[in-house]
Amino acid sequence: MLASESGDQGAGFLLLSLLLLAPREIRSAQVRYSVPEEAKHGTFVGRIAQDLGLDLAELVPRLFRVASKGRGDLLEVNLQNGILFVNSRIDREELCRKSLECSIHLEVIVERPLQVFYVEVDVKDINDNPPVFPATQKNLFISETRALDSHFSLEGASDADIGLNALLTYRLSPNEYFFLEIPTNDDQVKPLQLVLKKTLDREIASELLLVLKATDGGKPELTGTVELQITVLDANDNAPVFDKAVHHVKLQENVRNGTLVIRLNASDLDEGSNSHILYSFATDVSSDTKAAFRIDSANGEIKVNGEIDFEETKLWKLPIEAVDKGNPPMFAHCTILVEVLDINDNAPELLVTSLSLSVPEDAPLGTVIALISVTDRDVGNNGQVTCLLTPYVPFKLVSTFKNYYSLVLDSALDRESVSNYTVVVTAQDRGSPSLSATASVSVKVADVNDNVPTFAKPEYTVFVKENNPPGCHIFTVSARDLDAQENALVSYSLVERRVGERALSSYVSVHADSGKVYALQPLDHEVLELLQFQVSARDAGVPPLGSNVTLQVFVLDENDNAPTLLPGAGGAGGAVSELVSRSVGVGQVVAKVRAVDADSGYNAWLSYELQPTAGGTRSPFRVGLYTGEISTTRALEEADAPRQRLLVLVKDHGEPPLMATATVLLSLVDSGQVPKTSSRVSSGAASSETALVNVNVYLIIAICAVSSLLVLTLLLYTALRCSAPPTENACAPGKPTLVCSSAVGSWSYSQERRQRVCSGEGPPKTDLMAFSPSVPPGSSSGESGEQKEVFGNPRQPNPDWRYSASLRAGMHSSVHLEEAGILRAGPGGPDQQWPTVSSATPEPEAGEVSPPVGAGVNSNSWTFKYGPGNPKQAGPSELPDKFIIPGSPAIISIRQEPTNSQIDKSDFITFGKKEETKKKKKKKKGNKTQEKKEKGNSTTDNSDQ
């Protein structure tokens, strides 16, 4: 039940108030109950849960608890029914002494959400303390000469209770000499007075025994008594007299020892020793008073003797007695009231209750971190306290009730910036000088998973040699996570995808913890030059966060492939057989060894060496170091063996170098014997020449058809562009492709660098540009020299023109070291020198079409190259004047005209006969000699093929 609080007459009233709501989820309320002191254990105080609006079923889950500052466990709550009951003995006098108001302050705290209630329980006084006199017996010495109506001061009784229970009435036992004078309520400071109403006569009654009884106003009444032992004396008939019966003195606390409080003044009308007065404290003064003050018996000075503390005693009551030296001695009494003045000598006291060990960094604003209570024992301005926080912290103080504060979150937290805060709360009073106290609250910021693992780079490039052992470590990825503990625990995995026909995980794997990347199988540069994949890094937070990094693994070539002889080149257990006329000139090519290497770069750069003969004789033949062409070193003689067996060693430039051996059988015959050779050779030569003529016809037809389509396409494109309205970007990039045909199939030139085909006013533009597709954009092409031929109709091929053996071998041939092709990356770009594979055109004036060796041997990788007779190279924006289609006598000419010139598109690409190398021969007399010469030349041509 709700208890009532007594007023002056005990009128009851019911008080239930709900106090200030704190911000966010703190509610501050006050409910007041009352309970009598000395109530038994289990005494009902109130239904606290119901009065606070709490559900009984929520008390335990919400951690309902009650705390009382410095009051122990006087009260307790039954969590089953929500009733507040008395748990142990409550003594109001022990708790509050003589204070009119005595309350027990309770803090009721529930969580989820956090709520704080403030409850006051008034302790009601019961009449459990009887009046008590300072002593059970008091001796009075009264002269028989004392006049009637003389007053004798008596010390009244004290009652520890308050109110009616402490309201005392006095009664003196019946006698004929004295009556009791009781001071009124307005004059409580005056002592009881024993008044003489009949003259004393020592001879009749030398001693009197009276009983003084004090009764309080409680129900039931309690009483206390003191015996008054009165001794009747003779002689001295004038008692000392004080100038005031009551003295009021104000004294500051904490004054030094020896400070004068007051100087008493009493007088006696007698003379001599009867007027000599001695001062002292009354016999019934308390020991605390004697410890705090001392009195000089001779001059009546009262000085400070001990510590004067306002917080302990606010008012001192000093009973003083003056006695003369008469016989009998006569006494006088007065009272000194010392009011202690407060000074600011007590600093505020802080009590911090932390509600949680750590605060998550994503906690919402207004989250309660701690509860803070402030007390100051001083009064007035000295006891008024203001609380402040350390500046620049994401917290603030919110006042909830009186001197109670809540430390709440004021701005967002970031553990990665600050993981722990030491918040200093300063409490400062308004005294002069001001006093302050501090308390530290350590707030640990708990980590949440809000940071993604990051790599130092978005992409890494790794170089790995091919033929690596399975399971070798090729790289280590590392990601950093700014979070802590499991939120910073990073694991790595592959982002699965397919590489060709196989899964990525069959090539590489990544260790989940260390980030080490392993190659699961040997890598082959010839199969896979670049392996690009992503590695994912994820943390162990909830939810997990992750990021990816790209790895580009370049497989570096090793010399693991030996040169391979092409079919018909004397390899694979076979030998090349050629008929050589003894009349061939010096340096004439009689045969050719063809080989390829599956590797790239220098590992595929082949060189040819002629093995020395067994007899140590000097061979009349030599082999080109990089061409594989076998030619004569001198004129053949009759003494030379008719069958020459040559061993050609083909070797690459790798480390270590790999090699292969080709066998070439040369049969030396006279020029007149060539027609008389076996029918197989004759028929083979005739069929070869017929096939050559047929192929040339097919090539010319195919090239003409393709070229016509190309010209028609360009004309149509130009017409469409010119018919469109002019704009700023009238020139658009394109990638024209020129497709050509040869005896080994089709191949194409594709332009990687941007090209513009424009019309109208503007800077001169290139009509056609052709570059290798296997090199960076903008590789340059050379000019074909000063020759510019325009023919209306294609001419028949020269019968002396021969196929290049390298072209018939699938565009694979040896590296031409004498001249290096230039790959140009466009205007302002870097130039790169590559050895080129030559088409071995015998004419020095003709250009060469060759692929870059560094890009591998591929029939689609062709660039323009000029022989020794045409050293001129094209500039960054220039085009070759013309180029030759391998395997065909056609010459494709590309013309460039100024911007405003009239271009006849029909002459854009023309065909013409390949120039012959003119040889000046001296005429010899006789038709037979001339025929022999022609037959010898025919034999030489057959050997070239």
Q: How high is the pLDDT of residue 693? A: 59
Structure tokens at 184: 């009124």
Q: What is the pLDDT of residues 34-47, one digit of tens each?
A: 999 888 998 999 99
Determine if the peptide bond prior to 36 is cis (ω within 30°).
no
Single-letter code of the amino acid located at 425: V
Q: pLDDT band for position 615 (50/70/90)? A: low
What value does the mean pLDDT of the chain take? 74
Determine if the peptide bond prior to 563 is cis (ω within 30°).
no
Q: How high is the pLDDT of residue 818? A: 32
Beta-bridge partners for 251: 340
Which distant-in-sequence residues (6+ apart) come within 8 Å of 630 by Cβ? 589, 590, 591, 592, 593, 610, 621, 622, 623, 624, 646, 648, 664, 666
Percent with pLDDT over 70 in the chain? 69
Give dist(CA 418, CA 444) in Å, integer: 9
DSSP state at residue 272: G
Is 819's pLDDT higher than 50?
A: no
Distances (CA, A) of 527 to 464, 468, 497, 555, 561: 14, 14, 18, 10, 13
Decide: helix, strand or coil at residue 159.
coil
Is 25's pLDDT higher than 80?
A: no
Distances (CA, A) of 653 to 100, 270, 688, 809, 814: 113, 146, 35, 22, 12
Distances (CA, A) of 890 to 59, 791, 862, 884, 915: 103, 11, 17, 6, 10
φ and ψ at residue 906, rounded to 5 degrees: -70, -25
Integer distance in angstroms from the first to the last C-alpha of the chain?
125
Q: How high is the pLDDT of residue 794? A: 38
Q: How many CB atoms lie within 10 A of CB 581?
A: 23
φ and ψ at residue 709, rounded to 5 degrees: -60, -40
Q: Is 255 exposed, middle or buried (0-12, 13-18, 19+ CB in 10 A)?
A: middle
Q: What is the DSSP string of 163-231?
A: GGGG--EEEEPP-SSEEEEPPPGGGTTSPEEEEE-S---TTT-SEEEEEEEEE-SSSS--EEEEEEEEE
Distances (CA, A) of 348 to 20, 379, 425, 427: 24, 11, 12, 6
Percent with pLDDT over 90 in the chain? 36
Q: How high is the pLDDT of residue 552? A: 95
Instruction: Please say whether the beta carbons of 741 and 703 come within 8 A.
Output: yes
Give dist(CA 713, CA 736) in Å, integer: 10
Instruction: Please say whether the beta carbons of 460 and 550 come within 8 A.
Output: yes
Instruction: Please say whether the beta carbons of 245 and 187 come within 8 A.
Output: no
Mean pLDDT value across residues 13-20: 30
Q: How high is the pLDDT of residue 619? A: 85
Is 536's pLDDT higher than 90?
A: yes
Give dist(CA 363, CA 421) in Å, integer: 15
Is 761's pLDDT higher than 90?
A: no
Decide: helix, strand or coil at residue 313.
coil
Q: pLDDT band for position 828 (50/70/90)? A: very low
Q: What is the DSSP string of 430-493?
A: SSSS--EEEEEEEEEEEP-S----EES-SEEEEEEESSPPTTEEEEE--EE--S-GGGG-EEEE
Q: Mean pLDDT check: name the lowest of 219-233, 583-597, 835-849.
A: 835-849
Q: Mean pLDDT check: name the lowest of 120-129, 666-675, 811-820.
A: 811-820
Q: pLDDT band for position 188 (50/70/90)? A: low
Q: How many CB atoms lie within 10 A of CB 933?
A: 14
Beta-sheet pairing, 459-465 with 546-556: parallel
Q: How many CB atoms lie within 10 A of CB 926?
A: 8
Q: How many CB atoms lie within 10 A of CB 567?
A: 11
Q: pLDDT band for position 336 (50/70/90)? A: very high
Q: Which range scores top for mean pLDDT: 409-413, 673-677, 752-756?
A: 409-413
Give dist(CA 890, CA 914) in Å, integer: 7
Q: Which of 610, 578, 569 is nearest to 684 (CA)?
A: 578
Comparing 619 with 657, the larger pLDDT belongs to 657
Q: What is the pLDDT of residues 354-363, one digit of tens each?
A: 876 789 999 9
Q: Which of 122, 118, 97, 159 is nearest to 37 (CA)?
A: 122
Q: How many CB atoms lie within 10 A of CB 419?
A: 15
Q: Mean pLDDT check: name the lowest of 49-53, 333-337, 479-483, 882-886.
A: 882-886
Give dist(CA 772, CA 747) in Å, integer: 11
Mean pLDDT value across residues 833-853: 37
Is 571's pLDDT higher than 90?
A: no
Determine if the peptide bond prior to 113 is cis (ω within 30°).
yes
Query: HEC profile for 603-617?
Result: HHCEEEEECCCCCCC
Mean pLDDT value across residues 722-740: 46
Q: pLDDT band for position 746 (50/70/90)? A: very low
Beta-bridge partners for 857: none
Instruction: Please say whether the beta carbons of 181 and 195 come within 8 A.
Output: yes
Which distant-in-sequence residues (6+ apart) come within 8 Å of 253 by Cβ? 308, 309, 310, 311, 340, 341, 342, 343, 345
Residue with tokens 């050629």: 578
**Could you tell me the strand order of the sheet in which 589-592 lies?**
589-592, 629-632, 621-623
Q: What is the pLDDT of residues 381-420, one digit of tens each?
A: 888 898 989 888 999 999 888 888 999 999 999 988 999 9
Q: pLDDT band for position 327 (50/70/90)? A: confident
Mean pLDDT value across residues 724-730: 48
Q: How high is the pLDDT of residue 190? A: 67
Is 426's pLDDT higher than 50?
A: yes
Q: How high is the pLDDT of residue 268? A: 87
Q: What is the pLDDT of residues 128-173, one digit of tens each?
A: 889 999 899 999 988 888 889 998 888 888 888 888 888 889 999 9
DSSP state at residue 370: E
Comparing 393 with 681, the larger pLDDT belongs to 393
Mean pLDDT value across residues 230-259: 88
Decide: helix, strand or coil at residue 819.
strand
CA triple 476-478-484, angle to 5 deg: 150
Q: How high is the pLDDT of residue 690? A: 54
Q: Which of 333, 297, 318 is nearest to 248 (CA)?
A: 318
Q: Mean pLDDT check: name the lowest of 275-289, 819-833, 883-897.
A: 819-833
Is the backbone of residue 163 left (phi > 0), alpha (psi -120 to 50) or beta? left
Q: pLDDT band for position 90 (50/70/90)? A: confident
Comparing 235 with 250, the larger pLDDT belongs to 250
Is 449's pLDDT higher than 70?
A: yes
Q: How many CB atoms lie within 10 A of CB 251?
A: 18
Decide: helix, strand or coil at residue 70.
coil
